[in-house]
Chain A
Amino acid sequence: MRDALSYQARTNHWLTGALVLACVIVAGVGFAIGDTFYLRLATEALIFGGLALAVDILLGYTGLLSLGQALYFGLGAYVSAVTLIAYPSFWGAMGAALATGLIGGLAGGLIANRVRGVYFALITFGMAQVMAKAIYNTRSLGASDGLIGVPVIDINLGLLSVSTASPAGFFLFVLGMITALYLVCAYLMDTPFGRLLIAMRTNEARVPFLGYRTSTLRLGSFMLASVVAALSGALYPMLRGFVSPELLFFATSGNAVITVILGGVGTLVGALYGSLIFTILKSVVGSWTEHHLIVIGILFMLVVIFLPKGMMGLLHALLRRASAGKRP
Chain B
Amino acid sequence: MSSTILEVEDLSISFGGLHAVDGVTFAADRHRITTVIGPNGAGKSTLFNLVSGALRPVRGRVRLDGRDVTGAPPFRMQAAGLARSFQITALFFGLTVAENLRLGAQRLEPTGRLWAPVRRSGRAQARVQALLEQFGLADKAEYLVGALSHGEQRRLEIAVALAAEPKVLLLDEPTQGMSHGDTEVTAAFIRKLAQDVTILLIEHDIGLVMDLSDKVVVMHQGRKIAEGPPAAVRADPAVQSAYFGHA
Question: Out of A6, A208, A210, which one reaches B118, CB within 8 Å?
Answer: A6
B93 adjacent to A210 (CB under 8 Å): no
B161 to chain A, nearest CB (A): 7
Is B121 at the interface (CB under 8 A from chain A)?
Answer: yes
- Whether the pair B107, A1 counts as a contact (CB closer than 8 A) is no
Q: A6-B119, A190-B118, A202-B92 are in contact. Are A1 and B125 (CB under 8 A)?
A: yes
Q: State whether the Cβ of A316 lies closer than 8 Å to any Cβ in chain B.
A: no
Is B67 part of the contact surface with A, judged by Cβ < 8 Å?
no
Within the complex, what minimum Cβ distance (angstroms) separates B135 from chain A?
16
Query: CA of A304 to CA of B103 in the docked complex: distance in angstroms?
Result: 31
- How far, in Å, is A313 (CB) from chain B's closest CB? 14
Neighbouring A residues of B52 by C-beta, 8 Å: 209
Inter-chain contact A203/B90, CB cutoff 8 Å: yes
A213 touching B73 by the CB < 8 A rule? yes
Instruction: Give Cα distance in the complex from A214 to B54, angstroms.
Output: 13
Given contacts A2-B142, A199-B92, A209-B161, contact A191 B117 (CB under 8 A): yes
Binds A, one of B25-33, B77-85, B184-192, B208-216: B77-85
Q: Is the CB of A193 within 8 A of B114?
A: yes
- A3 within 8 A of partner (CB): yes
Among B53, B90, B92, chain A packs the most CB atoms within 10 A around the CB of B92
Q: Using Cβ atoms and an 8 Å threshold, which residues of chain A touch B91?
A: 203, 206
User: Is B164 in contact with A192, judged by CB distance below 8 angstroms?
Assistant: no
B73:A203 contact, CB within 8 angstroms: no
- The answer, yes or no, to whether A187 is at the interface (CB within 8 Å) is yes
A192 to B142, CA, bound (A): 18
Nearest A residue to B97 via CB reads A4
Q: Is the CB of A208 within 8 A of B94?
A: no
Tell me if B73 and A208 are in contact (CB < 8 A): yes
Q: Which residue of A lies closest to B90 (CB)?
A: A206
**Is B244 among interface residues, defined by CB-CB distance under 8 A?**
no
If A1-B98, A208-B74 touch, whether A192 touches B92 (CB-CB below 8 Å) is no
The CA-CA distance from A198 to B93 in the complex, in Å, is: 11
Query: In the bound complex, do residue A195 and residue B99 qualify as a contact, i.e. CB atoms below 8 Å apart?
Result: yes
Is B95 an interface position by the 8 A CB rule? yes
Residues from chain B with a CB closer than 8 A to the CB of A1 are: 98, 125, 128-129, 141
Q: State which of A190, A196, A199, A208 has its C-beta within 8 Å of the C-beta of B117.
A: A190
B96–A210 touching, CB < 8 Å: no
CB of B174 closer than 8 Å to a CB of A: no
Q: Does B35 touch A at the CB level, under 8 Å?
A: no
Sorting the interface of chain A by its residue count into under 10, 10 to 19, 20 to 34 or 35 or more gives: 20 to 34
Q: Does B59 contact A (CB under 8 A)?
A: no
C-alpha gap A4/B101 in the complex (Å): 13
CB closest residue in chain B, given A2: B142
Shortest B92–chain A CB gap in Å is 4
B102 at the interface (CB under 8 A from A): yes
| CB <8 Å contact, A212 and B75 | yes
Interface members, chain B 172-230 (any A CB < 8 Å): none
Chain A contacts for B53, CB-based, 8 A: 208
Whole-angstrom distance between the Cβ of A225 and the nearest chain B Cβ: 17
Q: Given the complex of chains A and B, what is the CA–CA distance between A195 and B118 in angstroms? A: 8
Find residues 114-169 in chain A having any chain B CB closer than 8 Å to their own CB: none
Q: Report A271 CB to chain B, min CB distance, Å.
A: 20
CA A325 to CA B104, docked complex, whole Å = 36
Q: Tell me if A206 and B75 are in contact (CB < 8 A).
A: no
A205-B90, A213-B75 known; 19 new pairs, CB 8 Å cut-off, are A1-B129, A3-B119, A4-B98, A5-B95, A5-B99, A191-B117, A191-B118, A192-B114, A192-B118, A192-B124, A195-B118, A202-B94, A203-B93, A206-B92, A210-B103, A211-B78, A211-B79, A211-B106, A212-B107
Residues of B within 8 A of A (CB): 52-53, 73-75, 78-79, 83-84, 86, 90-96, 98-99, 102-104, 106-107, 109, 113-119, 121, 124-125, 128-129, 141-142, 161, 164
Closest 6 CB pairs of A and B: A211-B78, A208-B74, A211-B107, A202-B92, A193-B114, A208-B75
Can you pick out 27 interface pairs between chain A and chain B where the beta carbons lie within 8 Å of each other? A3-B98, A3-B119, A4-B96, A4-B98, A5-B95, A5-B118, A191-B114, A192-B106, A192-B113, A193-B114, A193-B115, A195-B102, A195-B106, A195-B118, A202-B92, A203-B91, A206-B92, A208-B75, A209-B52, A209-B75, A209-B84, A209-B161, A210-B75, A210-B106, A211-B75, A211-B164, A213-B75
